[in-house]
């Protein structure tokens, strides 16, 4: 079955729920209107279905290959990447002064859902290339911007992020890669980086690496890291390519999923001839790299949702076609016809819960990308507020959407029964591909620690209060709603539970231990509460639209299902908030006390 996506829900969330008019009023996006944005999304979906989806099986079955230091990806990846680059999709949201298209980030996110869902192994290269270009644009000098930004944003070259070393995974400060300044102002880089996505490949002529390294006189730890641009092929002043730059791929990993994406071990300076350019000030590298990492974390959350959405659509299609058993209401009637499994209650439960989570994840992500656009197009206190909201939502989007994206893929595989466990259907690949999203760009445990230890206190707690207050206001507005009052009560209870727990834990004598031990469940609680509020807000809009439709209107089923998704999430998913809080309130610490 070819890649499918719930385009109607995306259109609803973008143009009926989000205040897109506020984004388009900005001078930054003056060249865009609703009609042109819809056309852009239609073209993106066409490319996803016609180019990326057919290459997805090649990526999984053939995978990327390493031979004598040379990495190749499937031929279909090369042609699909060329289509993306020529269409301007790599730098679609980036600065037009450097070859980008300058479209709103929230529209770019919707387009990237198509690309990620159709072929995550290929689409991940776009994320890193954009990130490398943005690093150079924001922190590089005129020379670096001129040499690299346009080539990255147009997809002529690709980019990477090189942090991890064998002894320095999450503890980036333990990195030992070295940089020594030369007399011409450039630097000799030496060291090895591992787990480098698209560190080498044959899709483009050059690969531009953003590399963390340590100068000889640098302080120990993370504060002593500097950031360098290190191209695979040296670049002349006129932008033409020169000789190879002593950057080698020593091997690629053999992985559970995203087989088409080469995950490389990279050697810099094996022959003491690797040339790099310093970005920004010395010893400020990790701070600069976090800009790329935070943007990437939002996109990884998007990946989790996108693959889950694709898995749901595929499982729904299978369930409509797979005939097995009698209708639940006619089980005792031996002569009753067999029905498609989509008619069976437990299958419907799995599909509908999957659907509700996908919509909730999409809402969480698109609202955050809307904040990105508002931060980029405002100034002063307003800009600071929107940027703080982006910062607060980033670990939430990355961890909550990727964790539940994996669970949705698991449920969708279950819909297929035994067939889901075979390679005859895409369910098993969706599950394998999605699994990386909770790990890379900062494991979800680290995202949870960032949320509870740092983001809760940001702006004196104002960002936390603002997102909780939004869910609380939705619950209050709908408390007496004829259709949604029960769901609103569930949301109000979830908000109250989160507020109560945070207030209690912060006053404990063992607050630090309690927060670190329970960071992941606390993030899960906040994620459900915030996303549940957004989904219920959408349900209220859909309910209002239902009252405006005439008999036989084709949108009736969509709006009715939209209301049903919000109610289902409120009753089936929001109660997890209270359940997760039980152990935290009780102060249970068996994992700490255990002998391991």
Q: What is the pLDDT of residues 453-464, one digit of tens each?
A: 999 999 999 999
291 pLDDT tier (thresholds 50, 70, 90): confident
HSE on the CB side for 577, CA within 13 Å? 29
- Residue 558 pLDDT greater than 90, yes or no: yes
194 pLDDT tier (thresholds 50, 70, 90): very high
Average pLDDT over residues 203-219: 96
Catalytic residue among 113, 192, 428, 441: 441
| Buried/exposed 486-496: b ≥16 CB within 10 Å, e otherwise | ebbebbbbbbb
- Residue 591 pLDDT greater than 80, yes or no: yes
Average pLDDT over residues 86-113: 97
Average pLDDT over residues 405-419: 98
d(CA 64, CA 490): 47
Structure tokens at 144: 């670096």
d(CA 330, CA 24): 54
Domains of the chain: 7-153 (1.10.540.10), 159-283 (2.40.110.20), 444-596 (1.20.120)
Contact status, residue 322 vs residue 498, Cβ threshold 8 Å? no
Q: State the pLDDT at residue 272.
A: 96
Question: Does the annotation mark 165 as catalytic?
Answer: no
pLDDT digits (tens, 9 = 90+) for 337-391: 999 999 999 999 999 999 999 999 999 999 999 999 999 999 999 999 999 999 9
Strands 207-214 and 187-197: unpaired
d(CA 477, CA 266): 55
d(CA 297, CA 440): 9
- Residue 1 pLDDT greater than 70, yes or no: no
Average pLDDT over residues 25-30: 94
pLDDT digits (tens, 9 = 90+) for 394-404: 999 999 999 99
- Residue 93 pLDDT greater than 70, yes or no: yes
Average pLDDT over residues 440-447: 95
Own/partner pairs for 445-450, CB < 8 Å, 24+ apart? 445/519, 445/520, 446/170, 447/297, 447/395, 447/396, 447/398, 447/399, 447/523, 448/395, 448/399, 448/519, 448/520, 448/522, 448/523, 449/516, 449/519, 450/395
Q: Which of 140, 129, 124 is nearest to 92 (CA)?
A: 129
């Amino acid at each position: 079955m070819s890649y499918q996506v719930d385009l109607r829900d995306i259109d609803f969330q973008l143009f009926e729920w989000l205040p897109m008019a506020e984004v388009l009023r900005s001078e930054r996006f003056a060249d865009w209107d609703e009609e042109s944005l819809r056309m852009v999304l239609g073209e993106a979906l066409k490319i996803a279905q016609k180019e990326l989806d057919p290459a997805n099986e090649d990526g999984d079955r053939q995978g990327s290959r390493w031979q004598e230091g040379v990495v190749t990806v499937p031929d279909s990846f090369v042609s699909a990447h060329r289509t993306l680059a020529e269409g301007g999709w790599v730098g679609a949201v980036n600065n037009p002064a450097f070859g980008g298209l300058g479209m709103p980030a929230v529209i770019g996110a919707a387009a990237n859902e198509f690309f990620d869902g159709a072929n995550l192994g290929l689409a991940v290269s776009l994320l890193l290339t954009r990130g490398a270009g943005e690093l150079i644009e924001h922190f590089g000098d005129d020379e670096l911007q001129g040499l690299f930004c346009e080539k990255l944003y147009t997809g002529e070259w690709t980019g990477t992020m090189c942090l991890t070393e064998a002894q320095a995974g999450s503890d980036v400060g333990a990195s030992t890669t070295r940089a020594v300044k030369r007399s011409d102002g450039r630097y000799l880089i030496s060291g090895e980086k591992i787990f480098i996505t698209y560190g080498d490949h044959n899709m483009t002529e050059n690969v531009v690496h953003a590399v963390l390294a340590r100068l000889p006189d640098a302080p120990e730890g993370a504060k002593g890291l500097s950031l360098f641009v290190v191209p695979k092929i040296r670049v002349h002043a006129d932008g033409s390519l020169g000789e190879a730059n002593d950057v080698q791929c020593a091997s690629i990993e053999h992985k559970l999923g995203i087989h088409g994406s080469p995950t490389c071990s990279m050697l810099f300076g094996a022959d003491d001839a690797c040339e790099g350019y310093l970005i920004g000030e010395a010893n400020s590298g990790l701070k600069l790299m976090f800009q790329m990492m935070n943007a990437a974390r939002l996109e990884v959350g998007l990946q989790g949702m996108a693959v889950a959405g694709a898995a749901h659509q595929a499982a729904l299609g299978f369930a409509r076609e797979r005939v097995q058993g009698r209708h639940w209401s006619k089980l005792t009637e031996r002569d009753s016809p067999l029905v498609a499994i989509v008619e069976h209650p437990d299958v419907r439960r799995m599909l509908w819960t999957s659907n509700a989570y996908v919509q909730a994840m999409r809402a969480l992500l698109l609202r955050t990308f809307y904040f990105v656009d508002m931060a980029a197009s405002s100034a002063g206190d307003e800009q600071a507020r929107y940027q703080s909201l982006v910062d607060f939502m980033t670990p939430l989007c990355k961890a909550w959407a990727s964790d539940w994206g994996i669970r949705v893929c698991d449920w969708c595989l279950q819909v297929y029964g035994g067939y889901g466990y075979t390679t005859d259907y895409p369910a098993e690949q969706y599950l394998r591909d999605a699994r990386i999203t909770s790990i890379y760009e900062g494991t979800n445990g680290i995202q949870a620690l960032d949320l509870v230890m740092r983001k809760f206190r940001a702006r004196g707690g104002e960002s936390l209060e603002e997102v909780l207050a939004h869910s609380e206001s939705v619950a209050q507005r709908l408390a007496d709603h004829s259709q949604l009052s029960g769901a609103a009560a569930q949301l109000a209870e979830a908000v109250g539970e989160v507020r109560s727990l945070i207030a209690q834990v912060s006053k404990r004598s063992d607050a630090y231990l309690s927060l670190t031990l329970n960071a992941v469940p606390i993030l899960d609680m906040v994620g459900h509460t915030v996303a549940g509020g957004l989904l219920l807000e959408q349900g209220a809009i859909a309910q209002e639209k239902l009252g405006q439709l005439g008999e036989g209107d084709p949108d009736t089923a969509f709006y009715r299902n939209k209301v049903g998704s919000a109610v289902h999430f409120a009753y089936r998913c929001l109660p997890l908030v209270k359940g997760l809080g039980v152990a935290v309130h009780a102060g249970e610490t068996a994992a700490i006390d255990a002998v391991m």
